[in-house]
């Protein structure tokens, strides 16, 4: 007897991802989380809750609270977005890199957003180089976080006192 191939479920698929991963609908509701997410952030029963409520403790989307929202970026551009965020878990702030990727329906429309979340370890022995929560500084830090491990040449421009040396130290 031949067994018909059965497609894996959403949970089966997201649980092969090693990093914390969450699926969010276009209205910011958490649809599914993988085991790595539950282990890393100790969140249970988050499905159906708003992502900004779980990750930040906010009552409205990140962008309304001074942060760059990866969901809004994906919905606006239709492309993958990488951002640096400060999440609050167990009353402790954690710096995380988020890669938000559109998940399309059969017609090519964004139905969900998949977010991979990578915790960024802070080395407390080094001074904090860049501080801020505005969308501009978070976007800058996110970009620097992506370029710093590469061998790319970076031109830093700005007026005297604008923080060019801090940016150069971050890239090093």
CATH number of the domain to which 71 belongs: 3.30.450.20
The answer on 113 and 42 residing in a single domain is yes
Q: What is the pTM of this model?
A: 0.71
The answer on 87 and 12 residing in a single domain is yes
The answer on 82 and 22 residing in a single domain is yes
The span from the CA of 96 to the CA of 170, in Å, is 16
Which pLDDT value is given to residue 126? 52
Residues in contact with 77: Cβ distance below 8 Å, sequence separation at least 6, in sequence order: none
* pLDDT over threshold 90, residue 76: yes
Which pLDDT value is given to residue 15? 92
Which pLDDT value is given to residue 90? 65
* pLDDT over threshold 80, residue 155: yes
What are 78-119's pLDDT values in tens digits?
A: 999 988 888 876 667 788 889 999 999 999 999 999 999 988
């Amino acid at each position: 007897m031949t067994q018909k191939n059965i497609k894996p479920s959403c949970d089966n698929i997201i649980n092969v991802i090693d990093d914390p991963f969450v699926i969010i609908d276009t209205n910011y509701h958490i649809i599914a989380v993988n085991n790595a997410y539950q282990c890393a952030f100790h969140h249970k029963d988050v499905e159906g809750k708003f992502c900004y409520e779980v990750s930040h403790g906010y009552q409205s989307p990140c962008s309304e609270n001074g942060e760059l929202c990866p969901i809004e970026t994906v919905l606006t551009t239709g492309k993958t977005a990488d951002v640096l965020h400060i999440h609050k878990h167990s009353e402790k702030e954690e710096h995380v890199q988020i890669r938000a990727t559109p998940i399309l329906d059969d017609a090519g429309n964004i139905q969900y957003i998949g977010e991979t979340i990578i915790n960024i370890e802070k080395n407390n022995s080094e001074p904090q180089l860049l501080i801020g929560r505005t969308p501009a500084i978070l976007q800058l830090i996110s970009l620097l976080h992506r370029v710093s491990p590469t061998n790319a040449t970076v031109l830093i421009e700005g007026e005297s006192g604008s923080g060019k040396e801090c940016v150069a130290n971050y890239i090093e």
